[in-house]
Each structure stands twice: as C-alpha cells, then as structure tokens.
Amino acid sequence: MKDPASPYFVPDDQQVLANFLAGALHQDWNLEFNTPELALKAALDAESGSYAEDVLTQLERVAQASPTDDFAVVLHKRFGVYVVFENYGMSAQQWLDHVGHVVREHLGRGPDTHSLPL
C-alpha cells in the first residue's frame, strides 16, 4: 500500500518524471557520464513518443509547487536524484528549472541557455 505521508511516495501524476530522473541520475550516473546534462540527454534519446512531453509536463508541475520539505531532499528521496546541486552553483529549484531547459531543447523548443559547467 502506498503511504502518501512517506517522503518516498510518488503520486501517480509524477511517475514518468520520477522514472526519468531516477533512471538518468541514479547513484552511479557519474561513472557513465561526465555531466548530469549528458545523462539526462541520453535518457531522453533512449525514449520515443510523447515521453519527453510527459516528463516536461510533470516537471513543470513539480517546479511550480512549493514543497513544505527541503526541495533537495524531495528530489533525492521522491525522485532518486543523486546530484549535489551546489557543485553546479545552483539550488535544487534552479537545477530542476535547468532540467526543464534540457528537456525543452530535446523537444526542439530553442537552445538551452542554462548549460551546466563541465
């Protein structure tokens, strides 16, 4: 049974985003990719159909929310993200916004002007 009070609980309307982030930025992502950006792009390239649109829709919904918990903790526990945002000079919210830019670029909606430093 799913417990909505658990910090690990992922609502149904966030499942695609959770699978995307946890799959792309699992605890060993940096063994395969030099940057989280490359890991995100590879995860998007591996999928087809409306996947990227679904990720973006769910990501925008989460980014607009004001979680009561520390946003970095939410991203780590709920979405399985293993990135130290401060290493890229960003807060967790800024980093999530950057992920949105990466997805939009993948969808052909303009260049990503918020690239993470290598």
Is residue 118's pLDDT more than 70?
no
Q: Please tell me the distance from the alpha carbon of residue 111 to that of residue 61, in angstroms, as a whole number.
A: 22
**Taking a C-beta distance cutoff of 8 angstroms, is the pair 43, 24 a contact?**
yes
Least confident of 4-13, 40-49, 58-67: 58-67
Give first-to-last CA distance, the chain, whole Å. Answer: 42
Cα–Cα nearest to 50, from 20, 73, 24: 20
Q: Name the residue with tokens 């945002």.
A: 85
Half-sphere exposure of 114 (CA within 13 A, CB side): 17
Q: Name the residue with tokens 């992922």.
A: 10
Q: What is the pTM of this model?
A: 0.84
